[in-house]
């Protein structure tokens, strides 16, 4: 043991580190795919029901809006504990990367849904109206106008969400979900090996930078508003 | 044929009911360009938004070629909308699509096959003069070019009518004229009825056949552009017409006064042209027949409308009494409205 040193790289089990990295990336990507789908659907629901005058639609909007706000407010570490019974039912275990998915999704989807709703509201009302005037159906307006016209905002929102998900995976890791957070906690903190903590940190920063880079690159590619 | 029958639209707002359109009756014939002019808030946009069902009238009905728009809903209404082209003040193009993709949008909505979409859109690109810019994005185009895309997009499904909602109001004067010329060209070529909403009398005069003047939700005056320009009845119409025919009316008056002071001997005549006479060389004919008169032009403006020229010309004529009388008689004979403003 190299007590307290940050640079005792001989003590690092690189195979372990690689596995943990893979677990972190896997948790992030899988949960983000589900979050993106759920978030767009929820965001669309919120957007479409906002201006309605129908009492039931208004009620639906109120309920969904309230739930989104509630789940956005619960601190992630508490949400994991809250969802433990559900996770056990759904995944069959409360340990490992799969067990982290339900709480990751439940915490990030409402966050992303709000961003999606905002992105749709940013679209020029006139463009939507022009599509209506051309005889487009509601569904055509969604996939021909709302989604393509808000795509840069949807992608940059997804980037931000992905990055906060990486943070959540580390937290989930600390209570048994695996990944770099888990490794840093068990093999690093509890074993008093700061090198492991440092290496895990550096890898997480690299992952965050990579996602940020991909996100920015995509936004630049699809945004044709200013050339 | 578009018919508005006793159309009224009332909006319910927090501050009570607001009547945007009040008991409007209009008939718009096939193939004509019908102008609706009014200041902002006069109700002209609401009126035309009812044409494609973006708003429903509170009472009254609207027929387009025999179909009651007011009775349609759901997919029937969407089908009909495909046959009503519309262009907008702020173009409302999709920035995420190229020129040709924007023009293909309504064709996609109508379920036209890919091959046919491509051909049709390319034809429209050529028609509106954007050949070579097919694959540009709207952000790479000027305002006039964007509106050309708007026009092409509105024509994609071979509409029965075209609505222009303040389509030139965001453009500079020269581009405005280009877009208006394009609309006129399309109207002539395809015999397409156009409903043109504007607050600029210039646009009305330039391309419209008929005009309705709206004020406070009502149509206060309507008729041929020619008649409305020549003989405006309502105060508001007079304001619109005077803005356009004689933007420098007060200037002219002061010039005339100055001239009366400077040249007390002269005779000052105002000639008003309305119709084909403006094409005749009236002034040169007068000088030719009465070589002794001296003519100087003080002020003048002649405009082209769909039915002929209208405008006015102020002349100062000097010379001996005999020639002067002869000259004035000639002017009257040439059926040009002549008013002697000052004679010593």
Residues 6+ apart with CB under 8 A from A102: A83, A86, A87, A90, A91
Which tokens hold the place of B80? Answer: 């009909």
| Residues of chain B contacting residue A140, judged by C-beta atoms under 8 Å apart | 108-109
> What are the structural domain ranges in chain B?
2-245, 249-343
Scan for tokens 């940190």, then name that residue.
A201
Report CA Rg, chain A: 21
pLDDT per residue over A91-107, tens digit each?
888 888 888 899 999 99
- Rounded CA gap, B66 and B173, in Å? 37
Cβ-count burial of B153 within 10 angstroms (0-12 exposed, 13-18 middle, 19+ buried)? buried
Average pLDDT, chain A: 90
The CA–CA distances, whole Å, from B72 to A78, B24, B81, B147 equal: 54, 20, 10, 29
% of residues, chain B, pLDDT over 70: 89
**Mean pLDDT confidence for A144-154:** 96
Average pLDDT, chain B: 85
Q: Considering Cα of B89, then B93, then B95, then B99, what sign does the dihedral take?
A: negative
**Mean pLDDT confidence for A102-126:** 94
**Interface with B, mutate which of A133, A138, A149 (most B CBs under 10 A):** A133
Distance from CA of A155 to the nearest CA of B (A): 14
Q: Is B1:B28 a contact under the CB 8 Å cutoff?
A: yes
**Mean pLDDT confidence for A16-45:** 94
In chain A, the residue whose alpha carbon lies closest to the alpha carbon of B49 is: A133
The answer on pLDDT for A113 being more than 80 is: yes
With b meaning 16 or more CB within 10 Å and e meaning fewer, what string describes B241-270? beebbbeeeeebeeebeebbeeeeebbbbb
CATH class, domain B2-245, is: alpha beta
A92: left (phi over 0), alpha (psi -120 to 50) or beta: left
Domains of chain A are 28-177 (1.10.3720.10)
Q: What order of strands is seen across the sheet that includes strand B84-88?
A: B84-88, B161-165, B193-198, B33-37, B210-215, B218-224
Cβ-count burial of A125 within 10 angstroms (0-12 exposed, 13-18 middle, 19+ buried)? exposed
Which tokens hold the place of B9? Answer: 């639209």
Scan for tokens 């027929």, then name that residue.
B63
In chain A, the residue whose alpha carbon lies closest to the alpha carbon of B165 is: A130
**Mean pLDDT confidence for B123-152:** 94
Whole-model pTM: value is 0.79
| Residues of chain A contacting residue B139, judged by C-beta atoms under 8 Å apart | 224-227
**Interface with A, mutate which of B45, B54, B93, B96 (most A CBs under 10 A):** B96
Give the model's pLDDT for residue B243: 72
Using DSSP's 3-state secondary structure scheme, residue A182 falls into helix
Which tokens hold the place of A61? Answer: 């909007």
Point out the residue among A130, A137, A224 whose CB comes nearest to the CB of B92. Answer: A130
Q: Which residue has the higher pLDDT, B331 or B211?
A: B211
Give the model's pLDDT for residue B344: 62
pLDDT per residue over B11-62, tens digit each?
888 888 888 999 999 999 999 999 999 888 888 889 988 998 888 999 999 9
The answer on pLDDT for A119 being more than 50 is: yes
pLDDT per residue over A157-194, tens digit each?
999 999 999 999 988 887 788 889 888 888 888 888 88
Give the model's pLDDT for residue A48: 92
The CA–CA distances, whole Å, from B153 to B89, B98, B106, B252, B327 equal: 14, 12, 7, 44, 55
Contact between A144 and B108 using a beta-carbon 8 Å cutoff: yes
Distance from CA of B252 to the nearest CA of A (A): 43
The answer on pLDDT for A1 being more than 60 is: no
Point out the residue among A127, A134, A225 whose CB comes nearest to the CB of B106. Answer: A134
Give the model's pLDDT for residue B123: 94
Q: Is A109:A42 a contact under the CB 8 Å cutoff?
A: yes
| Residues of chain B contacting residue A137, judged by C-beta atoms under 8 Å apart | 75, 78, 109
Q: Which residue has the higher pLDDT, B78 or B301?
A: B78
Give the model's pLDDT for residue B247: 46
Give the model's pLDDT for residue A51: 81
The answer on pLDDT for B277 being more than 60 is: no
- Rounded CA gap, A93 and A111, in Å? 26
Lowest mean pLDDT among A58-72, B233-247, B320-334: B233-247
ipTM of predicted complex: 0.86
- Rounded CA gap, B247 and B231, in Å? 17
Specify the pairing of strand B210-215 against strand B218-224. Answer: antiparallel
Give the model's pLDDT for residue B93: 95
CATH class, domain B249-343, is: alpha beta
Distance from CA of A130 to the nearest CA of B (A): 6
- Rounded CA gap, B227 and B230, in Å? 5
Give the model's pLDDT for residue A223: 92
Confidence of residue B250 (pLDDT cuts 50, 70, 90): very low
Lowest mean pLDDT among A1-15, B109-123, B133-147, B312-326: A1-15
Q: Is B78 an interface residue toward A (CB < 8 Å)?
A: yes
Contact between A133 and B137 using a beta-carbon 8 Å cutoff: no
B191 CB neighbour count, 10 Å cutoff: 10
> Among residues B283, B298, B296, B297, which one has the least CA distance to residue B328?
B283
Cβ-based contacts under 8 A for chains A and B: 70
Q: Is A127 an interface residue toward B (CB < 8 Å)?
A: yes
Please spell the DSSP secondary structure of A29-73, one letter per residue: HHHHHHHHHHHHHHHHHHHHHHT---HHHHHHHHHHHHHHHHHHH
Give the model's pLDDT for residue B252: 55
pLDDT per residue over B138-189, tens digit each?
999 999 999 999 999 999 999 999 999 999 988 888 899 999 999 999 999 9
Distance from CA of A53 to the nearest CA of B (A): 13
- Rounded CA gap, B39 and B236, in Å? 9
Q: Is B79 an interface residue toward A (CB < 8 Å)?
A: yes
% of residues, chain B, pLDDT over 90: 45
Which tokens hold the place of A47? Answer: 């957007």
| Residues of chain A contacting residue B54, judged by C-beta atoms under 8 Å apart | 129, 132-133
């Amino acid at each position: 043991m190299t007590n307290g040193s940050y640079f005792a790289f001989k003590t690092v089990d690189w195979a372990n580190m690689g596995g943990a990295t893979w677990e972190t990336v896997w948790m992030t990507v899988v949960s983000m795919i589900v979050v993106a789908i759920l978030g767009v659907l929820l965001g669309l629901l919120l957007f479409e029901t906002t201006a309605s005058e129908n009492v039931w639609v208004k009620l639906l909007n109120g309920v969904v809006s309230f739930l989104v706000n509630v789940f956005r407010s619960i601190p992630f570490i508490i949400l994991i504990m809250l969802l433990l019974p559900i996770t056990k039912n759904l995944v069959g275990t409360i340990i490992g990367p799969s067990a982290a998915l339900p709480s990751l999704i439940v915490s990030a989807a409402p966050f992303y849904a709000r961003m999606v709703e905002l992105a749709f509201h940013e679209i020029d009302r006139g463009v939507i109206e022009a599509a209506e005037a051309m005889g487009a159906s509601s569904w055509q307006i969604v996939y021909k106008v709302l989604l393509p016209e808000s795509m840069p905002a949807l992608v940059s929102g997804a980037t931000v969400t992905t990055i906060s998900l990486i943070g959540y995976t580390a937290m989930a890791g600390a209570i048994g979900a695996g990944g770099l957070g888990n490794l840093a906690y068990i093999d690093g903190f509890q074993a008093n090996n700061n090198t492991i903590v440092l290496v895990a940190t550096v890898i997480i920063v690299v992952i965050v930078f990579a996602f940020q880079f991909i996100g920015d690159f995509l936004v630049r590619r699809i945004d044709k508003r200013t050339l | 044929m578009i018919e508005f029958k006793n159309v009224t639209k009332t909006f319910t707002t927090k501050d009570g009911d607001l009547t945007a359109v009040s008991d409007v009756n209009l008939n718009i014939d096939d193939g004509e360009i019908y102008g609706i002019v009014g200041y902002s808030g006069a109700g002209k946009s609401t009126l035309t938004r009812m044409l494609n069902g973006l708003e429903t009238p509170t009472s009254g009905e609207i027929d387009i070629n025999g179909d009651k728009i007011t009775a349609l809903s759901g997919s029937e209404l969407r089908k009909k909308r495909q046959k009503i082209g519309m262009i907008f003040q702020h173009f409302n193009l999709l920035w995420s699509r190229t020129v040709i993709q924007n023009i293909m949008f309504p064709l996609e909505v109508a379920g036209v096959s890919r091959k046919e979409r491509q051909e049709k859109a390319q034809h429209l690109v050529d028609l509106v003069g954007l050949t070579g810019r097919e694959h540009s994005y709207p952000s790479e185009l000027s305002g006039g070019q964007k509106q050309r895309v708007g026009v092409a997009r509105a024509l994609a499904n071979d509409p029965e009518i075209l609505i222009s909602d303040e389509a030139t109001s965001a453009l500079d004067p020269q581009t405005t004229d280009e877009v208006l010329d394009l609309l006129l060209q399309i109207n002539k070529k395809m015999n397409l009825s156009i409903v043109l909403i504007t607050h600029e009398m210039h646009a009305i005069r330039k391309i419209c056949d008929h005009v309705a003047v709206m004020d406070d939700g009502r149509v206060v005056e309507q008729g041929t552009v020619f008649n409305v320009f020549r003989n405006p009845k309502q105060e508001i119409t007079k304001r619109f017409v005077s803005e356009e025919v004689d933007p420098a009316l007060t200037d002219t008056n002061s010039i005339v006064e100055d001239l009366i002071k400077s040249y007390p001997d002269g005779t000052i005549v105002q000639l008003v042209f309305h119709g084909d006479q403006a094409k005749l060389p009236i002034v040169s004919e007068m000088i030719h027949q009465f070589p002794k008169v001296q003519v100087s032009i003080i002020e003048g403006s002649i405009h082209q409308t769909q039915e002929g020229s209208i405008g006015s010309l102020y002349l100062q004529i000097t010379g001996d009494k005999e020639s002067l009388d002869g000259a004035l008689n000639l002017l009257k004979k040439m059926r040009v409205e002549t008013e002697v403003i000052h004679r010593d």
